[in-house]
Amino acid sequence: MPILELQGVTKTFGGLTAVNELSFEVQKGDILGLIGPNGAGKTTVFNLITRHLNCTGGKVIFQGHDITNVRMDKIISFGIARTFQGSRIFRNLTVLEAMLTACYSKRKTGLILDLLNSARAKNEMQQHTEHAIEILKFIGLEERKNDQAGNLPYAHQSLVGIGMALVAEPQLLLLDEPIAGMNPQETLETMELIRKINGRGITVLLVEHNMTAVMGVCNRIVVMNYGEKIVEGTPGEIMEHPAVIDAYLGSGFDARAS
Amino acid sequence: MTDRRLRNTWITWIIAIALLALLPIILGGSYILHLLIISCIWIILAQGLNIILGYTGLLSLGQGGMFGIGAYVSALLAVKLGWSFWITMPLATTATALLGFIIGYPVLRTRGIYFAMVTLGLGVILSEIFNNWIGVTRGPMGIGDIPYPTPINLGFTSIAFDSKITYYYLVLAALILVMVVTYRIAKTTLGRALIAIKEDEVLAGTFGIFPPKFKIIAFTVCSAFSGLAGCLYAHYITFISPESFGVMASIDALVIVVVGSAGMVLGPALGTIILILVPEALRFASEYRMLVYAVILGVVIMYMPQGLGCSIGRLASKIVSGRRVANAYIGTSGSNQNLRGANGS
Ligand SMILES: Nc1ncnc2c1ncn2[C@@H]1O[C@H](COP(=O)(O)OP(=O)(O)O)[C@@H](O)[C@H]1O
Ligand SMILES: [Mg+2]
C-alpha cells in the first residue's frame, strides 16, 4: 500500500487551473522527486497535501486515511511534516526555541498541568529539549542552537526548516526547494542529509530545481507541467524522456537557471 | 533547568517580593502609597494587554472597556446587593473573562488592523453602555460609596482594608499572582504557542498549533487581568464613572506596554514606572509634566523601538558578558544567547 496517494487532485484559482486531475503514489521509503518548470503547480500540490489549501476536486489518501478534508493543524499528527519554499521559519526565535515550538504535536501533557509546572510537564520538556538537540546534531546545527534563526546564513535557515519538520517525527516529509540558494558544497551536504533522513525510515517528497540534486537523491520522479503530470519514472527514464526535455526547454528552464 | 538556576530564580522572586513589601516602609508617606497602589493596578491592566499584544501579536484597543466591566460588575454587586468584596472580586474577574471569551469568538476572526478597529469599537460600545444605561450605571454621574473590602477576621486579629497600607498589600498580592501566571504562561507550551502565532500563524498551524484556540485563551486571560484591575480600582477609589474606562485608558495601557517592551513579563512594570512614577516624581514642575511624558515617549520610540525592557536586557548582558560579545565576531559562542537570555523571551 502506498504511504501517500493523490487521486485526481484538482485545484483552481478563479479561472486558473493550478493543478489538474493529478494522480500519483508515494511508496513507503521513497525519495520521490516532484519537478517541473516554475508555475507548474508543485508548491500548490504540497499545499493541497498539507491542507494549506482546499482541493477543488479529487482525494488525498495518507496511509489509508482520506485526509482531503482534515483541518490543517491536524496534518502533523497524521505524520506529515513539511518545509516551505524560501525557508519559512520562526525568524525571531533562537534555533532551539524554534525546534521546541515545532515539538508541539508531540506533547502529551495538557496546558494546565504544564502551567502548574507538574513533574510530568517538566519531564516532557526535558525530553523534547534532548530530542531537539539530537536533531540539531543530526542536521549539523548544534553550535547554532542559541542563535536567532533569522540571522543565520541562508543555507542554515533552510536546514532549520528541515530540523523543525524532523523534530515532529513525521513519516512523510515534504521538502519545497530546500537547496535553493545553496553553494555546491552545501548542496552536496544537503543531498547527503536527505539520504540520511530517508535512512531514518522517513519517506521524502522533494520539490527541487537543482537537477543534479534531484537525479542524485531521488529513486522516482514525477514531472509536472501546467498542473498536470506529464511523466513518471526513475531518474534515468526521466532524463531521456522527450516530453521532459520539451517541457523544460519549451518553458524557460534556461531562463530560470540564469 | 539546573538546580542552581532554579534556586537563583527563586531567590530573585523572593528578594523582589520582599523589596516590594518593604517599599511603603522605606519610602513612607500617604501619597507614595497612593502611587504604588495605582501603579500595581496599572501593571495588572497592562499585563492583560501584554498577553494579547506582546505574546500573541494582536493589538487590542478595548482594554479600557474591559477594565470598566470589572469595575462596574464589582461595584454594582457590592453597592446594590451588598455583597462582600471577596465574592464580587472573583465574580467580576470571571465575568470579564467570560465576556472576553464570548466576544473573542467573533472578534478574533479578524486580524491585524481589523482586529485593532473591532476592539476599538468594542471599547467605545462598552463606554457608551456605561454612559447611557442610566438605570444601572447611573451614567455620567457614576457610582459612589463603593465599600472597601470587608475586613478579614483571623480570630485573634482582623485585617481591615480601609487604610492605604493594607490596600497596598492587597493589590500587591494580586499583582504577584498576575506576574506569576504571566511568567508561567511565558515559560511553557502555552506561551510558546502564542509566540508562534505572533511570529507566523500559518507556520504555527503547520506544527499543530490551532491559532483560534490559542487566541481565545489569550483574549480570555487578557480580559480576566483587566477585570481584576478594574475591580481593584473601584474598591480603592470608591467612586467610578465612565470617563475612567474610555479609549484614553486603552491608549495609556498600550503606551505602557510598548514603552516597557511588549512580550516581556516585566515590560508592563517597567512601562508603568516610567510613565506613571517618573512624571509624578517631577510633579513640582507640574506644568512640564505632559512635556516629560512626551519626551519619554519620543526617546523610547526613536532610540528603543523594542521598548525599554529589551534595551536594559541588552545593556546588562553587554556588561555581564563583554567577553562573549567580543567572541561573537569570530562566530564561536553567540552573543545572541546572552541577549535573549536577559530579555527573558
Ligand atoms: N494562492 C494562490 N492564489 C492564486 N494563484 C496561485 C496561488 N498559489 C499559486 N497560484 C498559481 O498557481 C500556479 C502554480 O503555482 P505554484 O504551485 O507555486 O508553482 P511551482 O511551485 O511549481 O512553481 C501559478 O500560476 C501560480 O501563480
Ligand atoms: Mg514552488
Show the cell assigned to A100: 521546541
pLDDT at residue number B321 = 63
Domain assignment of residue B273, yes or no: no
Per the CB < 8 A criterion, the answer to whether A89 and B203 are in contact is yes
Nearest ligand by distance to the CA of A35: 1
- The finding on whether A36 has its CB within 6 A of some atom of ligand 1 is yes
Domain boundary among A169, A194, A219: A169
Number of domains observed in the structure of chain A: 2
The answer to the question of residue A185 being in a domain is no
Would strands A80-82 and A172-176 be described as parallel, antiparallel, or unpaired? parallel
Rounded distance between C-alpha atoms, residue B233 and residue A209, angstroms: 62
Greatest extent of chain A over all pairs of C-alpha atoms, in Å: 64
Cα B57 to chain centroid, rounded: 15
| Closest protein CA for atom 27 of ligand 1 | A39
Judge whether residue B157 has pLDDT over 90.
no
**At A224, is the secondary structure helix, strand, or coil?**
strand
**Tens-digit pLDDT profile for residues B298-310:** 888 788 878 888 8
Shared domain check, A95 and A49: no
d(CA A118, CA A122): 6
CA distance B71 to B242: 10
Identify the pLDDT of residue B283: 66
Do the domain assignments include residue A183? no
Residues on chain B touching A50 (C-beta within 8 angstroms): 206
Instruction: Looking at the structure, tell me whether residues A64 and A108 fall in a common domain.
Output: no
Number of domains, chain B: 1
Q: What is the pLDDT of residue B280?
A: 72
End position of a domain, from candidates A169, A189, A214: A169
Ligand 1 atom with least separation from CA of A176: 21
Ligand 1 mutation pick, A20, A44, A46, max ligand atoms within 8 A of CB: A44
Residue A110 covered by a domain: yes
Are A141 and A91 members of one domain?
yes
Alpha-helix residue ranges (DSSP H) falling in A140-222: 154-167, 184-199, 211-217
Indicate the burial class of B268 (C-beta count within 10 angstroms; 0-12, 13-18, 19 or more).
buried
With beta carbons under 8 A apart, name residues in chain A contacting B189. Answer: 104, 107, 109, 111, 114
B199: chain A residues, CB-CB within 8 Å: 90-93
Q: What is the pLDDT of residue A243?
A: 81
Residue B69 belongs to domain spanning: 25-246
Of A127, A148, A169, the residue at which a domain comes to its end is A169
Task: Kindly state whether residues A70 and A91 are assigned to the same domain.
Answer: no
Ligand 1 contact, A40 CB (< 6 A) = yes
Q: Whose CA is nearest to atom 26 of ligand 1?
A: A39
CA dihedral B300, B301, B304, B306 (to 10 degrees): 120
In this model, does residue B328 exceed pLDDT 50? no
Residue at A136 is within a domain: yes
**With an 8 Å Cβ cutoff, are A148 and B337 in contact?**
no
Q: CB of B34 within 8 A of CB of B91?
A: no
Share of chain B above pLDDT 70, in %: 89
DSSP state, B207? T
Q: How many other CB atoms are found less than 10 A from the CB of residue B163?
A: 12
Same domain, A99 and A64: no
For B156-185, what is the mean pLDDT? 90
Give the per-residue pLDDT at B233.
Answer: 96
The pLDDT score that the predictor gives to residue A104 is: 93
In angstroms, the CA A70 to CA B278 distance is 54
- How far, in Å, is the centroid of ligand 2 from the Cα of A85? 6
Q: Indicate whether A75 and A117 sit together in one domain.
A: no
Q: For B243-293, write each residue's pLDDT tens digit.
A: 989 888 898 899 889 888 888 888 898 889 888 777 777 666 667 767 777
Examine residue A58 and state whether it is found in any structural domain, yes or no: yes
Please report the atom of ligand 1 found closest to the CA of residue A41: 17
Beta-carbon contacts of B246 under 8 Å, excluding residues fewer than 6 positions away, are B64, B123, B127
On whether residue A89 sits in a domain, the answer given is: yes
Residue B81 gets which letter from DSSP? S
The pLDDT, as a whole number, for residue B226 is 97
Grid coordinates belonging to B228: 481584576
CA distance A254 to chain B (A): 32
Lowest mean pLDDT among A70-79, B171-180, B224-233, B321-330: B321-330
Per the CB < 8 Å rule, is A75 touching B200?
A: no
B305 touches chain A (CB under 8 A): no
For A146, which of B181, B202, B334 is closest by C-beta distance? B334
pLDDT at B199: 93
CB A210 within 8 A of CB A256: no
Cell output for A140? 549539523
**Residue-level pLDDT at B335:** 34
pLDDT at A129: 95
Query: With a cut of 50, which residues of chain A have pLDDT below it?
Result: 252-258
Q: Residue A244 belongs to what domain range?
A: 1-79+203-258
Helical ranges in chain B per DSSP H: 3-27, 30-49, 63-80, 85-107, 112-132, 134-137, 164-187, 189-199, 201-206, 211-237, 247-260, 267-272, 278-281, 289-303, 308-320, 322-327, 335-343
- B135 and chain A in contact, CB less than 8 A: no
Pair A56, A87 in one domain: no
- Report ipTM (2 d.p.): 0.91
- Asked whether residue A22 is domain-assigned, the answer is yes
Instruction: Indicate which of B184, B206, B306 best probes the interface with A, i.e. most A CBs within 10 Å of its own CB.
Output: B206
Which of A101, A116, A136 to mutate to probe the B interface, most B CBs <10 Å?
Answer: A101
Given a cut of 90, whether residue B94 has pLDDT beyond it is: yes
Do residue A17 and residue A1 come from a single domain? yes
Kindly state whether residue A192 falls inside one of the protein's structural domains.
no
Q: Is the pLDDT assigned to residue B103 strictly greater than 60?
A: yes
Q: What is the mean pLDDT of the segment spanning B32-57?
A: 93
The closest of B336, B335, B312, B337 to B323, measured between CA atoms, is B335
> How far apart are the C-alpha atoms of A107 and B207, rounded to whole Å?
11
Q: What is the pLDDT of residue B185?
A: 94
The CATH number given to whatever domain includes residue A100 is 3.40.50.300
Query: Cβ B336–A151 below 8 Å, yes or no?
Result: yes
Query: Quick one: pLDDT at residue B158?
Result: 79
Q: CA gyration radius for chain A?
A: 19
Confirm whether B274 is domain-assigned.
no
The residue behind cell 480570630 is: B155
For residue B198, pLDDT over 70 is answered with yes
Specify whether A89 is located in the same domain as A165: yes
